[in-house]
Structure 1
Amino acid sequence: MPSERVTLQELVENGHLDTVPDDYLVSEQDRVKFEDYSCDARELPVIDMVGVEGERRDLVVQQIRSVCEEWGFFQVKNHGVSLPLMKRMQQEIREFFDLPYEEKNKIRARFDGHVLPDEGYSDRFGLKEGSANWSDRLRLYTLPASSRRYELWPKHSPSFRETLEEYCEEQDKLMSRISELISEGLGLETSYLNDYFAGKYQQQLQVNYYPPCPQPDVTMGLRKHSDNNLLTLILQDSTPGLQVKKDGQWITVKPMEDWFVVNVGDQIEILSNGRYTSAEHRAFVSSKPRMSIATFSMPSNETVVGPILELLGTEEQPKYRAISFSEFKDSFYYTGWATAPTGKGHLKHLLISQD
């Protein structure tokens, strides 16, 4: 795809589309059916973090363990991140996507032909083959501070940088607290996961903007996949669209303005030797615009991740081979995401034969 291609938002706003272009059509089997929209959003587990440093801790650890084993997806409330900060972050992002194309294009990610660019503003999710997602996105490294490329950060607002830096620090604190609960749920020391990735950790912000769609039933905002990282925190706007797969059924996540969606990533599944599961999820689109802000917690590229030895009993063998996060991402994008909607198929490459 040529780098000068206009983004989907501009295509929609300036082209007055009546139909979805061929580039964005998905196969019949991957389309959202009517019954998929009507799933009960209240089924997704909700974890109340109030009192987690006190008398409710054992209960919350038990709840975290249960949802990580059975779902890999849940929502958290009373999490410690202030609602005013969450709203400021959303407002800054909305203002960026409302800018003229020429302004947004100043931080345009350059597509290399087959894989998702790591940073900047772009449209297609770097697909090598297959249909594109009905979305534009902004992706920025936020932690450690040394990884920030400020030349790719939006400059439309003098407060954007300050807001994002405060937001990502609060996200990091919440990620750390959730990692402690996950560690305890696995029977490990409270600080195990945080210590494991001390100095070997990175954080990335990804905003997905889904423009209004003239034919929502023939395309997808984000096709089914599991996240390749450790944990994801998702801040949704008020328009539904996020779905998680549970027992073969797609469940729509009800947006709540002061809650975060927590997504267990592939690295946690590997570390726990399959005790905890990463969840397939996707996003559908509608006639309304939608925006979500995802914060990814990831190992540094050179960090090797494999099953935690302390979790393996005398007769339990590792289910996954150890692999660097850089190598894992290559497998994720080149053999999975970038070629076909495989869900969690990329994890099969890491399975160790138990014969």
Structure 2
Amino acid sequence: MTHEATGPDPSTIHVPVMAARVVELLSPALDHPGAVYVDGTLGMAGHAELMLTANPQARLVGIDRDHDALDLASRRLAPFGARVHLARARFDELGRVLDDAGIATIDAALFDLGLSSLQIDRADRGFAYRVDAPLDMRMDTRSELTAARVLNEYSPGDLVRVLRDYGEEKQATRIVRAIVAEREREPFTDSARLVDLILRAIPAAVRTKTKGNPAKRTFQALRIEVNGELEALSTVLPVMLGRMGPAARAAVLAYHSLEDRIVKQVFTAATSDSAPAGLPVVPDEMAARFAPLTRGAEKPDAAEIAENPRSASARLRAIERIRPDVAPSAGSRHGHRRGGRR
């Protein structure tokens, strides 16, 4: 997919998170001709540029739903020419994008979740609670659902669910009660009015103990709901694992506990044997297909956080394929002893 190169230089407004570590983890899988690297959340291509530079034999499939981000990424990646294939899609459309490109298996993949600097810094996109802007929050402007529609049209029960499930907001009932009363007077259109309402709805004793802006959790919840982020993540991870070829590697950067919990659960299942506990030899069909490359979730160091404060909440997990998928075979004598490399 081609895009006209317009707008600011993306390298000046975007700092990729834990970039050196991502390159270190994924590059061993890309050191061969025709290697395929997938960046499922391309953004402004900070990670992609570094990966293509470090791995001259690799080609990129870059996916993003944000048209503005793809425009900037196409300029940044132009020097790599035919090694770059870009697609405007949600990352849970990974299978279709690969099929359209004629690619059966991949060698490395990265999903850098959450918001990009472009989305945060563009006031008109409505993601930031620090500036007054239209309540939009769509990563893909082709989508019909906006934050304003969620606030104005959802039932009180659904609004409470969104704030509790996606924002982990303990004051969800109070906030929703205030939202419902206010929207009956006038529909919500701009963020400043919502922020003011949240500040008034939350008890003063709770506000004083809250780190950061008390509106942060509500805005996170609305963004996740508008963009279907957690559903997309739960959908794409098994697809990604199924497409990973021999010795392929994958990494995910998550920025809040809801995302990281999903990644942890999927990766833990993929790196665990399915044989019953106590079985001394694990049949091949029950052996783990993947092995962890990180011990739990890695975090950025103090130097990176000081240079790029937005990296502070990042959590990095990575895995490697160590066995192909196999169909169960009755009475198989092959296996490995528990306690060995998995």
TM-score under structure 2 length normalisation: 0.30
Higher relative contact order (CA 8 A, sep 6+): 1
Rg bigger for which structure?
A: 2
Structure holding more helix per residue: 2
Normalising by structure 1, report the TM-score: 0.29
